[in-house]
Amino acid sequence: MKTVIVKPQNEILKKHIEYFLFLKKSDDNLLNYSTFPNNNICLAIYKENHIHYNNVPNYNECVITKGNSLFSSRLYGFHKRPFNVNINADLDQVCIIFYPAALRAFTHESYDDL
């Protein structure tokens, strides 16, 4: 999987976005990774993927498979335990990693509603 991290150059975006994370995987081979618990807020945008997210007590997992939608998105954040990701398809993903509380500049919806 190819991973590229880009820091925003725009002065306005620099105040709200820590970095953009581009992920690209061009095969159907299974790939797994885990993150540490964290307070990141990530808007993940997927191209032609189906996302199945399980966040229940003692289980925090995302399974990515081939999807029918051109684009889909998911907001992740406040992981109290490791976040396990299983990629079972090609992947073309952009993650926008916001600074803490910076999402408020873009929406007034509660985090629970988002």
Instruction: Write out pLDDT tens, residues 5-23.
Output: 999 999 999 999 999 999 9
Q: How far apart are CA 103 and CA 35, in angstroms?
A: 21
**Contact by Cβ (8 Å): 21, 94:** yes
Quote the CA–CA distance of 109 and 101 in Å, as a whole number: 12
Domains contained in the chain, CATH given: 2-105 (2.60.120)
Q: pLDDT tens across 77-104, in order? A: 888 899 999 999 999 999 999 998 888 8
What is the widest separation between alpha-carbon atoms in the chain? 40
Residue 58 falls in which region: left (phi positive, over 0), alpha (psi -120 to 50) or beta:
left
Grouping H, G, I as helix, E, B as strand and the rest as coil, residue 8 is coil
Q: Percent of the chain scored above 70 by pLDDT?
A: 100
DSSP symbols for 46-81: EEEEEEEEEEETTEEEEEEEEEEEEEEEEEEEEESS
